[in-house]
């Protein structure tokens, strides 16, 4: 961008010098001066407008690059019928260098008709750094076919290295590989 801008600036400066020379030698100085001034303003506006998107582009890329990658991902991987009801398989991925001693979620199960079926705590700890783990939990008395979606209502407890961790819910990412949606 800098080389392109410098070339335009040099071209603009050269044209301004030519116009100023024309104004000095012209018999109708005010008309030539007005034309030179208008042309300079138009070229300056054009050069600035042409450079503006190129300058804004790196800022957009920077915002996209810093938007994620620093939190735990919770994937609802599989639901299967069990003796007591339904068993859920959850893949917990921690791409960070942080070990979570406590990571407990307030989870709400919605039935397929949209009505809340139950609310429960899901303890995922310990969550080790740079590691994916599979956690299982049984939903006694609930058939897999009756589950419409899960909502992570809140993070009840989030502790790293013995002290409270910040923004655990905001940094949590969720996805589902089943027909049952999971959201926060």
**CB distance 111 to 117 below 8 Å:** yes
Residue in 75, 101, 45 with CA at minimum distance from that of residue 176: 75
| pLDDT, tens digit, 9 for 90 and up, residues 56-107 | 333 322 222 222 457 999 999 999 999 999 999 999 999 999 999 999 999 9
| Structure confidence at residue 14 (pLDDT) | 53
pTM, 2 dp: 0.62
| pLDDT, tens digit, 9 for 90 and up, residues 124-148 | 999 999 999 999 999 999 999 999 9
């Amino acid at each position: 961008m800098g080389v392109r801008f410098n070339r335009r600036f040099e071209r603009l400066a050269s044209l301004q010098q030519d116009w100023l020379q024309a104004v000095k030698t012209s018999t109708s100085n005010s008309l030539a001066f007005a034309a030179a001034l208008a042309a300079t303003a138009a070229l300056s506006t054009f050069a600035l407008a042409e450079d503006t998107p190129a300058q804004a582009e790196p800022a957009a890329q920077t915002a996209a690059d810093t938007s994620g990658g620093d939190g735990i991902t919770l994937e609802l991987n599989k639901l299967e019928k069990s003796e007591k009801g339904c068993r859920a398989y959850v893949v917990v991925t921690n791409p960070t260098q942080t070990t979570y001693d406590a990571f407990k979620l307030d989870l709400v199960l919605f039935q397929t008709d949209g009505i809340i079926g139950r609310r429960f705590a899901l303890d995922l700890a310990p969550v080790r750094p740079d590691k994916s783990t599979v956690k299982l939990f049984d939903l006694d008395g609930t058939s897999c076919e009756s589950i419409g979606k899960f909502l992570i209502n809140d993070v009840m407890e989030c502790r790293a290295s013995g002290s409270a961790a910040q923004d655990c819910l905001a940094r949590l990412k969720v996805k589902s590989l089943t027909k049952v949606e999971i959201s926060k």
